[in-house]
Amino acid sequence: MFISLRRNVVLRRASVCAEATPRKRVKRIRQHLNPLSESASRPASLEAGWFAAAFDDPTLPLTVDVGCALGGWVCEAAAADPSRNFLGLEIRPAAIEAARAKLDKLGGAGNAHFLKANANVDLRRILADAMGPIERVLFQFPDPHFKKKHHKRRVVNVELVDALADALAPDAVVYLASDVLEAADHMRAEFRAHPAFAEDTLDVDSDGWCRESPLEHPTERERAVLRGAGTTSTEPGHVFRALFSRRGAWI
């Protein structure tokens, strides 16, 4: 009985200590942000010479990951391929902070940089500042904005495709990927409708989607989708991909 009472006292003390010790709050990152809001629509602050300062060799071929989320793909790709520069754009402030922290934790990389930006506001300016050839622009699993009234928030629209047509040199590549068929269809239709872009149809399925990713590494989202963990996926375990290249001449 004495042992039992003593045990109860110890347990109560442990419980009191646990309650007295404050838990470290984990900062949650918002999954969605309205790109049309006043705060999100403010142009990014780009200092003169920012691009040259961002990379060890700013003249290397550039890959731009639009909507880079927490930056995992950019960090992994930059570490594996020092012959290219990688620029991650993300509209959510907390996400871009997490991406920069991830890069710092890995020891940094002279060929990777993250920028808080709204692609629909800033992409044309950002690409105009590039000092090397813009080789690839990626749209990997952008927010699908499911509700019809929110479709105007989608990142790929006529104005953005026009900006890419003006900024990209012949043979530059645009890669689209989503696990939501309707969102993937929307992106593909915007690029199909523009005369400056030609769709790659060499290795596609019966619906015209690329069978394999042309990229070196999957994103965190793609890994989750491929293992069937994508809760909003149109087809569990399936990614809809499309590849376009900038034509040499168009009217």
Active site residues: 143
Strand partners for 8 = none
- Asked whether the beta carbons of 117 and 89 are under 8 A apart, the reply is yes
Neighbour-count burial for 200-229, b at 16+ CB within 10 Å, e otherwise: beeeeeeeebbeebebebbbebbebbbeee
* Helix locations, the chain, DSSP H: 2-20, 50-54, 72-80, 93-105, 119-128, 158-167, 181-192, 220-226
Residue 91 to residue 194: CA distance in whole angstroms: 25
Whose structure tokens read 């506001």? 121
